[in-house]
Amino acid sequence: MSGEERPEEKQGWFARLKAGVSRTSSALGENLTGVLTKRKLDEETLDELEEVLLKADLGFAMADRIRDRLSMGRHDKNITAADVRAVLAEEVAQVLEPVAKPLELDADAKPHVILVVGVNGTGKTTTIGKLAHQFVKNGKTVLLAAGDTFRAAAIDQLKIWGGRVGAEVVARDVGADPAGVAFEALERAKEAGTDVLLIDTAGRLHNKGDLMAELAKVVRVLKKFDPDAPHTVLLVLDATTGQNALSQVQTFREIAGVTNLVVTKLDGSARGGIVVAIAEKFGLPINAIGVGEGIEDFEPFDAHDYARAIAGADQENDAAA
């Protein structure tokens, strides 16, 4: 892609991102405007502002920090929603910048094994398809493994994605051993010299013990074939779950040793601030975010774009800056 095309692509993605998180930014904007009708900043106003930030799932640490920033030298002075949004964008970007990292492949690993985990319904299989599309677009060979053998729909969906992006899919019947599927896929990927192996998994948290044993077995089998596998354990989170996403990160870190995150369904949520709370609490790399079902509605995570989008920054002004 030429350098001239990149700014348009970037601007196009920011427009989709801003539209995707509009429910979050609109809710924040309306609530901030409602709080600031008095226009004078006092302790009562600060309390109400903090409550607005907490309702957006930004987390206690972020709400406290913004409160402290706003209170410095501003007591009994006029303040607008735009003032608060500017501070919010700065603070959010500062928290997100260290964790906004692309998913990097180990050039020495053939294949680089990515074990994809998460609760059912978060968009794991779709995320695998979109990641596969990006890898293929960048000239990588990809193999997909249908390790969620509990659900026929997950197997069928992965096969559809495989056909769509041009990636082979290793699958067995419903009820097959997920570790067996993973082993077969890794064996096939090794023989073919495949660049990337993406393994789907089940996510039945209501039976945590079984899930833990199943994932542990998958990892154990992979390591028998390749001691360094999986090279990435990617947790897919659904933004609409809000604060529940925090407990999911904790649980899957314990179960599967999560190393990286992807956040989906930001377009369906007014709780986009949860990304900030997750970053602040866990510090895990956030590789990408999804703001729609389309194959292009999925991009590497950019801290400053995201901060401006949820704070309600103006796209034209930002592009000109």
At 263-285, the pLDDT tens digits run 998 887 777 889 999 999 999 99
CB 310 within 8 A of CB 24: yes
The number of CA neighbours under 13 Å toward the Cβ of 221 is 20
Beta bridge partners of 260: 234
CB 212 within 8 A of CB 117: no
Residue that is written with structure tokens 């706003």 in the block: 70
Residue 121 carries which DSSP code? Answer: T
Q: What percent of the chain has pLDDT over 90?
A: 58
Direct distance between the N- and C-terminal alpha carbons of the chain, in angstroms, rounded to an integer: 24
C-alpha–C-alpha distance, residues 153 and 149, integer Å = 9
Q: What is the pLDDT of residues 101-145, one digit of tens each?
A: 999 999 899 999 999 999 988 999 999 999 999 999 999 999 999
SS3 300: strand
Give span(s): CATH 1.20.120.140, the chain.
5-99+314-320
Q: CB-based burial of residue 144 (10 Å sphere; 0-12 exposed, 13-18 middle, 19+ buried)?
A: buried
SS3 30: helix
Instruction: Tell me what pLDDT residue 267 has.
Output: 81
Domain 112-301: top CATH class:
alpha beta
Q: What is the pTM of this model?
A: 0.89
- Per-chain mean pLDDT for the chain: 87
Residues annotated in a binding site for GTP: 118-125, 200-204, 264-267
Q: In what order do the strands lie in the sheet with 112-117?
A: 168-170, 142-145, 196-199, 112-117, 232-238, 260-264, 286-290, 298-300
C-alpha–C-alpha distance, residues 123 and 105, integer Å = 22
Pairing mode, strands 260-264 and 232-238: parallel
Q: What CATH number has the domain spanning 5-99+314-320?
A: 1.20.120.140
Region 68-92: mean pLDDT is 83
Positive or negative, the CA dihedral 297, 301, 303, 307 is positive
Angle formed at CA 94 by CA 91 and CA 99, multiple of 5 degrees: 135
Residues annotated in a binding site: 118-125, 200-204, 264-267
Q: How confident is the model at residue 191 (pLDDT cuts 50, 70, 90)?
A: very high
Nearest CA to 262 out of 238, 283, 281 is that of 238
**Alpha helix positions (H), the chain:** 5-20, 22-35, 43-55, 60-71, 81-96, 124-137, 152-165, 178-192, 208-225, 244-256, 274-282, 303-311, 315-320
Give span(s): CATH 3.40.50.300, the chain.
112-301
